[in-house]
Structure 1
């Protein structure tokens, strides 16, 4: 029953968000088209519920630029002032409301990361895929990109184990403040976060226990 209520809130929230924010989304689309060209939307496969891939949509924030071998330059070299502003204000995430409406995502849940990360998770970290990914989540309101990957995954799994509708509402409320204050947008020296390469573990732990200390996970 709780899952059905959560899905109902997602549908109503996403539909209302698209309706109310449509002028903003149109304005952002025009800005991206003017400053970055086409395509306006960035589309990439991301792992969803139980790791099943789905196409995630965002507003494009990086310019096209490649090295002599034709490989895209690092994100920080392709980031523009407009892209930096869109990420800082989370306006680039607004097309994700369509993903919520389609059922790929929820308003609240662990953020959908890259498909290439799936084999790098420990079994415990992989539990973040037991729920739909979200536009915002417990890790986003507890540090976002200013905390380590291991801390993020600890927070994601804590959310999976302690999810309630009340917690979702608290996360949505706290997200508004985080976005307005533009906190935790990027890790030090990075456009967003360095790539996740896997969790270093204690000898003999067989990939189960991250070495990073757990944060205070109370809501």
Structure 2
């Protein structure tokens, strides 16, 4: 409890600040490459639910194009995700700007990954407990399969983590993250899928939520996002 309440935040500030300094050359080169291959903006900003469900701006290096259809709507993520973008995601380099979110206090080095608002609205009361801690750059679910595991298992891992927030556990997760992301170079996406399936889409596809409920909760997510802009 002492670690979670006092020490963890101090470590977040110290480690994220040090990482920003050490990785500045890497982020600089990545910025140049993203600008050259994908253009501006280099940084992708998105609203995500954080501690206690509070919405914050999460930053990533951009990995997709802005290609649109004849109606002016963005094409699917799978089409807009470039080979260069896939490499950024597979090496987790696209996540580096999140270090600034950690420094600000919106995120932590270790914690449940910040999901989309349209994912959050489909979670039940038990699953929403994952927001009782700051979301993390990496987490227990990420070192146990990332997006290759089912949504149910992913959320179960998140709940397992919040019940055991200790320095030893965080250190273990950081070590496993380095091994998986930078040594084994494991991807973050589902097999044969460019980007992860939204929780609501998964529930609809598996028949766990009706079309009516799906539409209702998607509207709720849009209202939340509009209220934050």
Paired residue for 2:122? 120
Shift of 1:184: 4.4
CA contact (8 A) 2:118 2:198 kept: no
Candidates 162, 174, 182, aligned match of 1:160: 162
Paired residue for 1:131? 133
Deviations along 1:167-204, one digit per CA (max 9) or x if unpaired, are 00000000001102122421122113111116566xxx
Structure 1 portions without partners, runs of 5+:
202-219
- Counterparts of 1:4 and 1:43 in 2: how far apart (Å)? 29
- Counterparts of 1:149 and 1:85 in 2: how far apart (Å)? 24
1:19-168 pair list within 5 angstroms: 19-168=21-170
Deviations along 1:73-108, one digit per CA (max 9) or x if unpaired, are 111101111101000000000000000000000000
CA contact (8 A) 2:45 2:57 kept: yes
- Secondary structure of 1:151 counterpart: helix
Paired residue for 2:185? 182
- Counterparts of 1:192 and 1:9 in 2: how far apart (Å)? 31
Structure richer in helix, relative to its length: 2
CA contact (8 A) 1:110 1:138 kept: yes
Deviations along 1:109-141, one digit per CA (max 9) or x if unpaired, are 000011122220011111110100000000000
- Secondary structure of 2:72 counterpart: coil
TM-score (norm 1): 0.89
- Secondary structure of 1:194 counterpart: coil
- Counterparts of 1:89 and 1:186 in 2: how far apart (Å)? 12
Shift of 1:21: 0.2
Structure 2 portions without partners, runs of 5+:
209-229
- Counterparts of 1:109 and 1:135 in 2: how far apart (Å)? 7
2:19 aligned with 1:17: yes
- Counterparts of 1:62 and 1:119 in 2: how far apart (Å)? 25
Candidates 190, 196, 202, aligned match of 2:199: 196
CA contact (8 A) 1:143 1:184 kept: no
TM-score (norm 2): 0.85
Deviations along 1:38-71, one digit per CA (max 9) or x if unpaired, are 0000001100001100000000000111112211
